[in-house]
Amino acid sequence: MGSLRLAIIMVLNALILPAQASAWSAGLQTLHLPDPVDGLPMQALAFYPSEGAPASTLLEGYRVEAAERLPLAIGRFPLLVMSPGNSGSPLALHDLATALARRGFVVVAVEHPGDNARDHSRLGASSNLYGRPLQISAAITAVRADARLGTVLDHGKVGVIGYSAGGETALILAGAEPDPARLLQHCAQYPDDADACQHQGVLRADHAELGPQTDPRVGAVMLMAPLSLLFGRQSLARVQVPALIYSGDHDQLLMLERNAEALARKLPQPPDYRLLEGAGHFVFMAPCDPQQAQRMKVLCEDAEGVDRQGIHRTLQREAARFFRRALQSGEQQVQR
């Protein structure tokens, strides 16, 4: 019996290990779906494990290590959904998305209508605060229903990765209830907080019918430099999912003690909180190539001694480990 048990363990390890290393290449597929706020078109980018030869694609100035029309890998893969920061591109975290696809996840990066690199019309509005989580939920539904990608999804719990304002989005999906009065109080106390208080802490009520909507399909969140001013301890009481939080101790955009540090103290389930020495707000965006470094200096430049490439290698490895444990279900059957 001992030899049989050892043989079974060896076979299972052979099946599981490819998901833990970069066993696949990354494929890319664009998803089109209606914005749940107003029914207008929105899109998302899906990165998936592929059996095809590795290839790269130039998309909107980003060199992305993924390509369209690559064959799907065989298996059942957990779903992760990404929400970028305000005015952010779904490609801002492309290296994390492709790395996770190569490790056995389907990763969907959403372009938020009215809050992306081309369109800022919903910034500071209720349609953005409450619409973003609805858009992530719509993306989950769309990819599960997709005739191609839906065939390789593990339909267990979903992970959400939120960067900056995307952290706020992820928390709402996990059960947090924003308190807009907290933003007013913050801006009265810190009027020079240029990022949080662009509108003096007043939320423009363009869609008064919207409110916070939890998505019970969300089983874990990874937050990077999360915007979380709107949440007090009571606001976070319903967040009962595992959380991995990263922040830099030199965040030049968000006040650390009012955001990530306060969040780590207040969550009812203590998160895994990692503070990166010397790192700023933009260190979590994909490392820049020389052209991007010239074009987007503020986003690409790190403080002396900060190794963005090394930080991202750690993020990729730890994100895969965190979500694999947090989302583990009986349906996950990765094959190779």
The residue written with tokens 């990165």 in the block is 47
Q: Domains plus CATH for the chain?
A: 20-326 (3.40.50.1820)
One-character DSSP codes across 111-175:
--TTSSSS--TTTTBHHHHTHHHHHHHHHHHHHHH-TTGGGGB--S-EEEEEETHHHHHHHHHTT
pLDDT, residue 70, reads 97
- Which residue type is seen at 262? A
Q: How far is C-alpha 108 from the chain's CA centre?
A: 9
By 3-state DSSP, what share of the chain in percent is helix, strand and coil, each rounded to 5?
35, 20, 45
Q: Is residue 292's pLDDT more than 60? A: yes
Q: Is residue 287's pLDDT more than 80? A: yes
Question: What is the token pair recorded at 216?
Answer: 């019970």
pLDDT, residue 291, reads 92
| Average pLDDT of the chain to the nearest whole number | 91
Q: Is residue 44's pLDDT more than 50? A: yes
**Higher per-residue confidence, 169 vs 10:** 169
Cα 134 from Cα 241, distance rounded (Å): 19
Question: 216: which DSSP letter?
Answer: T
- What would the pLDDT profile of 152-169 be if each residue is shown by its tens digit? 999 999 999 999 999 999
**Higher per-residue confidence, 298 vs 11:** 298
SS3 at position 321: helix
Cα 154 from Cα 150, distance rounded (Å): 9
Q: Is residue 14's pLDDT more than 50? A: no
Question: What is the token pair recorded at 48?
Answer: 């998936």
Q: What is the pTM of this model?
A: 0.91
Q: Percent of the chain, pLDDT > 70?
A: 91
Contacts 24+ apart (CB under 8 A), 51-59: 51/24, 51/25, 52/25, 52/27, 53/25, 54/25, 54/26, 55/25, 57/28, 59/91, 59/94
**Higher per-residue confidence, 4 vs 224:** 224
**Is the Cα dihedral 276, 93, 318, 268 positive or negative?**
positive
pLDDT, residue 201, reads 87
Looking at residues 297-301, what average pLDDT do you find? 95
Q: Is residue 19's pLDDT more than 60? A: no
Q: Is residue 111's pLDDT more than 90? A: yes
Looking at residues 5-16, what average pLDDT do you find? 38
Q: Is residue 13's pLDDT more than 70? A: no
Give yes or no for a contact between 233 and 151, defined as CB atoms under 8 angstroms apart.
no
What confidence category does residue 22 fall into, taking pLDDT thresholds of 50, 70 and 90? Answer: low
The residue written with tokens 């952290």 in the block is 167
Alpha helices, H only, 161-296: 165-173, 180-189, 260-266, 290-295
Give yes or no for a contact between 82 and 108, defined as CB atoms under 8 angstroms apart.
yes
